[in-house]
């Protein structure tokens, strides 16, 4: 793993799970990790329930926009975390791939998105501990 690992979060619409995961990783790891997110079929906007759920946790993702998954984004990432996008993510040798089975927040209210948000935070915390732990004094 390089000094500053890079992580790409991918879901179908890049409107819920991958946006929340990218926000958590940025929030919790700061500049220790390079963070990207993308979707195989990006939506027009980030899911409003995901925006609200993250706002409740003190993180503003309202200015984020769904981005299309590119081969370059995968090539430039050390870890690629897929969340329900199946086989649409290109696979390159030497990359680490994780598949997080998480409920899709699409079409759900904020009450249903909160447990998804909290599960993503837990998984992101585990990922940080593995790839970019806090420096020890």
Q: What is the pLDDT of residues 65-113, one digit of tens each?
A: 999 999 899 899 999 999 976 666 667 788 899 999 999 999 999 999 9
Catalytic residue among 11, 15, 35, 51: 11
Catalytic residue among 50, 89, 116, 127: 89
Number of Cβ atoms within 10 Å of the Cβ of 93: 4
CA 104/CA 99 separation, integer angstroms? 14
In the residue annotation, 89 being an active-site residue is answered as yes
Q: What is the mean pLDDT of residues 43-68?
A: 97
In the residue annotation, 80 being an active-site residue is answered as no
In the residue annotation, 11 being an active-site residue is answered as yes
For residues 103 and 85, the answer to whether their CB atoms sit within 8 Å is no
Which residue, 1, 3, 35, is CA-closest to 20?
35
């Amino acid at each position: 793993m390089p000094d500053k690992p890079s992580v790409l979060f991918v879901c179908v619409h890049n409107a819920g799970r991958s946006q929340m995961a990218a926000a958590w990783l940025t929030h919790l790891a700061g500049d220790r990790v390079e963070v990207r997110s993308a979707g195989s079929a990006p939506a027009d906007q980030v899911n409003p329930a995901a925006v609200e759920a993250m706002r409740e946790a003190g993180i503003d993702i309202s200015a984020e926009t769904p981005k299309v998954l590119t081969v370059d984004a995968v090539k430039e990432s050390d870890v690629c975390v897929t969340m329900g996008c199946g086989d649409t993510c290109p696979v390159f040798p030497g990359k680490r791939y994780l598949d997080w089975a998480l409920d899709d927040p699409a079409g759900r209210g904020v009450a249903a998105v909160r447990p998804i948000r909290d599960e993503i935070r837990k998984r992101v915390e585990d990922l940080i501990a593995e790839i970019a732990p806090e420096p020890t004094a």
